[in-house]
Structure 1
Amino acid sequence: MLLKLLKYEIKSSYGRFIVAFSVYIIIAAVLMTFFREYETVTTAALIFGMVALTVITFLTIFTRYNRNLYGNEGYLMFTLPIDSKVVLASKLISAFIWTVTLAIIIVPSIMALNLNYSESNIIKETYKYFEKNKVYTILFGIEYLINIFRSVLVIYFSISISKLHIWKKFSVLAGFGTYFIIEVVSSIPTFVFKNVAEAAKTTAGFSVLVKNYSINYISVRCIFDLLIFIVLFFLTAYLLNNKTSLK
């Protein structure tokens, strides 16, 4: 059932993503092919495009969740004999797929800008940085992926909270308040361990970590974000099962 829901979720939302991604790729290709010598214009346009593409991607993800579960489609969705955890999992996996696709498009754009307008040894310096901070870089990548899942689920949970019938006219405020509270709680490790990680700048501008405590900090962040994700997953599933108020 999860695969069927995931297939339906992707088919229902891929059109907007394909258009947005294609437009950005075409514009980026034109800029890097015909306007490469105009560094300022090309860089500004690509950065603006990356930001716009990111906003469109996440706005579509969250709008899809809201409309599919709390709009007209919700009347059909909640009549199906499907566990809410499966429904929620399909939403999260779909969001992850589109987020990864976004990264696959944006990362090469950043690399192209660096290769064309930065120092020629940028790749060599990047490799050196990875070699010196291999464990930290891997942990940071893992924490980044967990953080994406957690951030998406925080929005999903906030939307579900805002749809509770007890809020009536204050649904938007309840959603934003929920999001703010969770983000404050999520930042606890940052405040507690804010002084344990130090860095030194190299001549190429890369930050090289000089304390092993920073690895412990990232590990704590991973565990903390994972715990928040697990708790919010079951709370959101509970709300979908028992407290859904369709409009």
Structure 2
Amino acid sequence: MLGKLFKHEVKATGRTFLPMYGALLILTIFTKMALTIGAPDFFTDDIATGPVAEVILGITFTLYVIVITALCVMTFVVIIQRFYKNLFTDEGYLMFSLPVKTWELILSKLLVGLMWSVVCCLMLVISIFILSFGSFSMMEVVQDINMAYTDFNTQFGMSLNIILFELFLCMLVSAISSILLIYASISIGQLFNQHRVLASFGAYIVITIVLQIIVSIILVAVPLLANLDILFSGIDGIKAAQWFINGTTLINLALCVMFYFCTQYIMEKHLNLE
């Protein structure tokens, strides 16, 4: 049943995201063409040779920035809207009448939200790559990457892949924690009979502030993190960076568990549909 919920959620959200991804790719191509035509004049005082190209470049680049901003905002908004509307409004009566468990409802929303967040990041990387294409050769990129791996291994005696994997894992767990924080805040907000959206927003702010206070206390209490100079001192700096990255991962993992069980408990024990 989890698979069916996931497919349904992907179809429902895909109607919003796929056209935006298509618009981003089209605008990226047009912006690249405008840069190719108008960039030489755009960065000089000689505007007589291509004023039209500069106008086109300005328009396309403005639209490009707008679409990127809209895509990032919409990813965040859809994650919120799909969870709240499907589970805590009138649609919730249908969702909770299905022969599915609460954890399947939460997990399906989480997986789809995480998927679109990752796709959004990938689309931005692809878009930037298209814009920068031609200013470098793939051979140069491959050579620079190989050189970076070799230099890192020589200087620190370890593979760069280890650091990259730990950093990727940290970012992934952080993204999951951020989404589950939204879910927990919405769940807390629906405990109120009135002003639920405002209560959810308030819960999000309060939880964030409390977490910031706790992190600040930890940073002051742990000498290694308080003395940031060690981060720039050879192999000790790499070890400190690993401790910081992995520590952040573990903290976010603990927060994931806390936010998830908070959301599940409220949905199972204190469900209050509109």
- TM-score range, shorter-chain basis? 0.7 to 0.9
Is the CA contact (8 Å cut-off) linking 1:62 and 1:155 kept in structure 2? yes
Which residue number in structure 2 is paired with residue 64 of structure 1? 82
- In the alignment, structure 1 segments of 5+ residues that lack a partner are 201-208
* Residue 139 in structure 1 maps to residue 166 in structure 2: yes
| Residues 1:113 and 1:29: Cα distance change in structure 2 (over 3 Å) | closer
Displacement of 1:119 after TM fit?
A: 11
Q: Which has the higher helix share?
A: 2
Which residue number in structure 1 is paired with residue 30 of structure 2? 30
Is the CA contact (8 Å cut-off) linking 1:161 and 1:178 kept in structure 2? yes
Which residue number in structure 2 is paired with residue 204 of structure 1? none
Equivalent AA in structure 1 for residue 269 of structure 2: N
Inter-partner Cα distance in structure 1 for 2:197 and 2:226: 32
Displacement of 1:148 after TM fit?
A: 0.8
Inter-partner Cα distance in structure 2 for 1:234 and 1:177: 20
Equivalent AA in structure 2 for residue 93 of structure 1: L
Which residue number in structure 1 is paired with residue 203 of structure 2? 178
Is the CA contact (8 Å cut-off) linking 1:156 and 1:236 kept in structure 2? yes
Equivalent AA in structure 2 for residue 22 of structure 1: G
Displacement of 1:31 after TM fit?
A: 1.5
Inter-partner Cα distance in structure 2 for 1:199 and 1:45: 40
Inter-partner Cα distance in structure 2 for 1:114 and 1:18: 23
Q: Secondary structure at the match of 2:36?
A: coil
Which residue number in structure 2 is paired with residue 198 of structure 1? 231
| Residues 1:127 and 1:149: Cα distance change in structure 2 (over 3 Å) | farther
**Aligned-CA RMSD value:** 3.0
* Residue 244 in structure 1 maps to residue 264 in structure 2: no
Displacement of 1:198 after TM fit?
A: 3.2
Inter-partner Cα distance in structure 1 for 2:133 and 2:237: 27
Equivalent AA in structure 2 for residue 5 of structure 1: L
User: Which of residues 92, 117, 121 is equivalent to 1:99?
Assistant: 117
* Residue 218 in structure 1 maps to residue 245 in structure 2: yes
Is the CA contact (8 Å cut-off) linking 1:154 and 1:179 kept in structure 2? yes
Inter-partner Cα distance in structure 2 for 1:21 and 1:159: 28
* Residue 52 in structure 1 maps to residue 70 in structure 2: yes
Inter-partner Cα distance in structure 2 for 1:85 and 1:15: 25
Which residue number in structure 2 is paired with residue 112 of structure 1? 130
Between structure 1 and structure 2, the one with the greater Rg is 2
| Residues 1:127 and 1:6: Cα distance change in structure 2 (over 3 Å) | same
Q: Percent identity?
A: 26
TM-score, length of structure 2 as denominator length: 0.75
- In the alignment, structure 2 segments of 5+ residues that lack a partner are 43-57, 153-159, 220-224
Equivalent pairs counted in the alignment come to 238
